[in-house]
Amino acid sequence: MLPDIDQLSLAEQVAQMIVVRASGFLFDHQIQYPDWEPPLAKLQHWVQDLGVGGVILLGASAGELAIRTQQLQNWAKIPLLIAADIEEGVGQRFAGATWFPPPMALSTIFRGNEKLGLHYAEQLGAITAKESLAIGLNWVLAPVMDVNNNPDNPVINVRAFGETPHEVSQLGCAFIKGAKTYPVLTTAKHFPGHGDTSIDSHLDLPTIPHSANRLASVELPPFAAAIASDVDTVMSAHLIIQSWDAELPATLSGKIITGQLRQKLGFSGLITTDALVMGAIANRYGANQAPVMAVEAGADILLMPVDPVGAIQAVCEAVESDRIPRSRIRESVLRIWQAKTKTSQSRVNPPNLIYDLAQNDALTIATEILQHSQIIHGSLPLSSEKLINDIKLYNHSATHSHNLIVVDNLLKCDFLDHLAPAIALPAQMGYTTQIIDCHTQTSPTLLSKPSTLLQMFIRGNPFRGSAKLTQTSEDLFKKLLIDGNLQALLLYGSPYILQQFIPFLPANIPCVFSYGQMPASQDTALRTLFGK
């Protein structure tokens, strides 16, 4: 039961506009990002005493998260919005749930069969919503409605549903349709469009130089479509949009948040900032000034402010000094109440954790998307005869076939362990495995060995800073080709990297590309390669 807004103090109202970051793990010694995730006592203080309106979670298994979300709701006097960035399904962030390939995989299917692509997008939304509720999440920070028309985009990349407004609009709205069958909130992001940038806003502030006409024809249609599909929330982007506001990023711009999103597009739902701790904002604006500017601009939710306590105080002071009208705060809290009313149904009839996570139908959908979105080059499968000939040619035993795996950073690799198919399946066939990453100093010359199966995991990701090949990866690929040692290539992640490789791959060298990097993707790609 939500209290009467007018019975709350100004500080309590402002606190409802704050969503803090926390670890999904239950114990302080498990916290993985101490700069962003408070210890238990501080988190409890924020929720129980300050009365923050919501929490965004990262880390832990799905089972642990179910305990964490219940703990948070028990602390709260007013029910919380509990969110997660789960664009690829709940399993993307919380182990044990269903992990789908990135949204761009659906564009490959959609181009060949629109009906099938839309079906999968709707299923992605429905399964994500269902599994979210099973572990206590009620706010899905998806779908991404950015049009990724810049191959060098380091942060959106395969997180987008496609490269055209039509693809993104259709598939994003199908996701919303599926998710809306459950009482969760959906989020169109990152308004007005983060697809044509070459800078990661987690690190710095990108600029979009396009004209208003170009924005209207490319960037805005997916957001207009999402609004027409009754999306609950729109998330702002930390971008300078020169044709709209040359001074302030969209998140802090009244011309954009109120003028464009509220007034021109007619969005009446909840507007949230992207994380205010991101470099684009935190490095340029004060920890407490940015929240005030975001509220002035028209934001209802202040996501991950650098200093939640300071942000509440700063916004209250701005109201008391008449910089921000008191009515502006009330309007936001009213929208938050409307959102919390929608999610209240999930608290009355909570799903059953055991029966709603990673069920066979969900896993089947994920596998079908992987299979239908694979891109294949060369002659497949890699036959037993070909493997035997390679061994004879180089006078090596089967145990000297080489499985070379390239990742960005093995220490931050949540899709690779000793049981991962990328390691286990080749091992069953006699391959020896070697893994290289940013910590590896080995020369590409030393890594060029006969009968090498090369597996590369490369995609744009927040904080990676680039969606491109590393120089080591490029040199390694070229060296294997020149020496005639490349037996086959498996690429997981970015289709833009595949486009760079294909012109150099001889027709007799098989290649399998998968948008996904998780174990199911590895299993599907390797079984395609070996015909298993």
- The radius of gyration computed from the CA coordinates of the chain, to the nearest angstrom, equals 24
Provide the token pair at 508: 């007799």
Look-up: residue for tokens 């399998």? 512
The per-residue DSSP string of 438-453 comes to: TT----HHHH--SSEE
CA distances for 162 relative to 103, 117, 383, 470, 524, angstroms: 8, 12, 34, 24, 22
The distance from CA 16 to its chain's CA centroid, rounded to whole angstroms, is 25
Give the catalytic positions in this structure: 202, 274
CA dihedral (17, 23, 28, 32) in degrees, to 10, reads -130
DSSP classification of residue 413:
-
- Are 416 and 422 in contact, with CB atoms under 8 Å apart? yes
The distance from CA 179 to its chain's CA centroid, rounded to whole angstroms, is 16
DSSP classification of residue 35:
T
Q: Which residues contact 22 (CB under 8 A, 6 or more apart)?
A: 37, 38, 43, 55, 56, 57, 68, 72
CA dihedral (454, 459, 461, 467) in degrees, to 10, reads 110
* Distance from C-alpha of 410 to C-alpha of 247, rounded to nearest angstrom: 40
Q: Where are the beta strands (DSSP E) in 354-498?
A: 375-377, 401-406, 431-436, 452-458, 486-493
CA distances for 424 relative to 246, 372, 403, 427, 521, angstroms: 53, 24, 10, 5, 14
CA distances for 402 relative to 317, 318, 332, 398, 519, angstroms: 64, 63, 59, 9, 20
Q: Which residues pair with 56 in a beta bridge?
A: 21, 83
Coil/strand/helix, residue 138: coil
The distance from CA 101 to its chain's CA centroid, rounded to whole angstroms, is 11
Q: Which residues contact 153 (CB under 8 A, 6 or more apart)?
A: 194, 195, 196, 197, 198, 460, 467
Number of helices (H) and strands (E), helices first, in the chain?
A: 21, 16
The count of C-alpha atoms lying within 13 angstroms of the C-alpha of 209, restricted to the half-sphere facing its C-beta, is 1
Look-up: residue for tokens 């409890």? 44
